Chain A
Amino acid sequence: MTEVKQGRGRVPQGLILGIESSCDETAAAVVRGGRETLSNVVASQIALHARFGGVVPELASREHLRAVVPVVEAAMAEAGVAFADLDAVAVTEGPGLPGALLVGVSYAKALAFGLGKPLIAVNHLEGHIHAVLLEVLAARADAQIPHKPTSGLYPPHEQGPVRGGPGNGAPGEPFEAGQTILALVVSGGHTHLYLAQEQNGAWHYRNVGRTVDDAAGEAFDKVAKLLGLGYPGGPWLDALAPFGDAGAVPFSFAQIKAKAHRRGEAGALDPKEATYFSFSGIKTAVLRYTQVHGMEERIAQRRAALAAMPGASPKRDLELVRALCDQETLDLIASFQRAVVEDLRRKTFQTAERFGAASVLVSGGVAANRELREHFTAEARAQGLPIAFPSLKLSTDNAAMIAAAAWPKLVTGKFADERLTADAALKLGV
Chain B
Amino acid sequence: MSKNTETVTFSTQSAEETIAAGHKIAAKLRPPLLLILRGDLGAGKTTLVKGIAEAYGAAQADEVTSPTFTLLHEFLGTLDGTAGGAQVLLCHLDLYRVDDERQLAAIGLDEMPAPESIVLVEWGEKFAALMARCDGEIVVKSLGGDAREITLKLRGQA
A binds B: yes
- Residue of B with least CB distance to A60: B106
Task: Report if A96-B70 is in contact (Cβ < 8 Å); known contacts: A62-B106, A215-B65, A231-B97.
Answer: yes
Contact B60 A259 (CB under 8 A): yes
- Give the residue of B62, B69, B102, B103 whose beta carbon is less than 8 angstroms from that of A258: B62
- B42 interfacial contact with A, CB 8 Å: yes
Number of A-B contacts (CB under 8 A): 90
Contact B98 A59 (CB under 8 A): yes
Contact B42 A280 (CB under 8 A): yes
Q: Which of A206-214, A338-346, A354-362, A380-388 contacts B (4 or more CB under 8 A)?
A: A206-214
Contact A61 B66 (CB under 8 A): no
Within 8 A of A (CB), among B39-71: 40-42, 46-47, 60-63, 65-66, 68-71
Contact A259 B42 (CB under 8 A): no
Task: Report if A261-B41 is in contact (Cβ < 8 Å); known contacts: A215-B66, A215-B69, A424-B72.
Answer: no
Within 8 A of B (CB), among A66-105: 95-99
- Complex: A283 Cα to B106 Cα, angstroms: 30
- B74 interfacial contact with A, CB 8 Å: yes
Task: Report if A97-B65 is in contact (Cβ < 8 Å); known contacts: A63-B106, A259-B60.
Answer: no
CB distance from A16 to the nearest CB of B (A): 26
Contact B69 A276 (CB under 8 A): no
- Residue of B with least CB distance to A225: B41
Main secondary structure of the interface of A (DSSP, over half): loop
- Residue of A with least CB distance to B98: A59
CB distance from B56 to the nearest CB of A (A): 14
- Complex: A235 Cα to B42 Cα, angstroms: 21
Instruction: Count residues of B near A (Cβ-Cβ below 8 Å).
Output: 28
When each residue 204-226 of chain A gets 1 if its CB lies under 8 Å from chain B and 0 otherwise, what string results?
A: 00000001111101100010011
**Which residues of chain B are within 8 angstroms of A57 by Cβ–Cβ distance?**
97
CB distance from A420 to the nearest CB of B (A): 20
- A284 interfacial contact with B, CB 8 Å: yes
- Complex: A97 Cα to B70 Cα, angstroms: 6
- A287 interfacial contact with B, CB 8 Å: yes
- B108 interfacial contact with A, CB 8 Å: yes
**Which residues of chain B are within 8 angstroms of A280 by Cβ–Cβ distance?**
42, 46-47, 66
- Residue of A with least CB distance to B76: A425
Contact B69 A218 (CB under 8 A): yes
- B27 interfacial contact with A, CB 8 Å: no
Within 8 A of A (CB), among B95-125: 96-98, 100, 102-103, 105-108
Contact B74 A259 (CB under 8 A): no
**Which residues of chain A are within 8 angstroms of B97 by Cβ–Cβ distance?**
57, 59, 231
CB distance from A341 to the nearest CB of B (A): 19
Contact B46 A59 (CB under 8 A): no
- A56 interfacial contact with B, CB 8 Å: yes
Contact A23 B70 (CB under 8 A): yes
Q: List 6 A-B contacts (CB under 8 A).
A: A61-B106, A97-B71, A99-B108, A212-B63, A259-B62, A287-B42
Besides A213-B66, A259-B62, A287-B41, 10 new A-B residue pairs in contact (Cβ under 8 A), listed by A number: A60-B105, A97-B71, A98-B72, A213-B46, A217-B69, A231-B96, A231-B97, A256-B62, A258-B62, A284-B41
Taking Cβ atoms with an 8 Å cutoff, the residues of A that contact B are: 23, 56-57, 59-63, 95-99, 187-189, 211-215, 217-218, 222, 225-226, 231, 256, 258-259, 261-262, 276, 280, 283-284, 287-288, 424-425
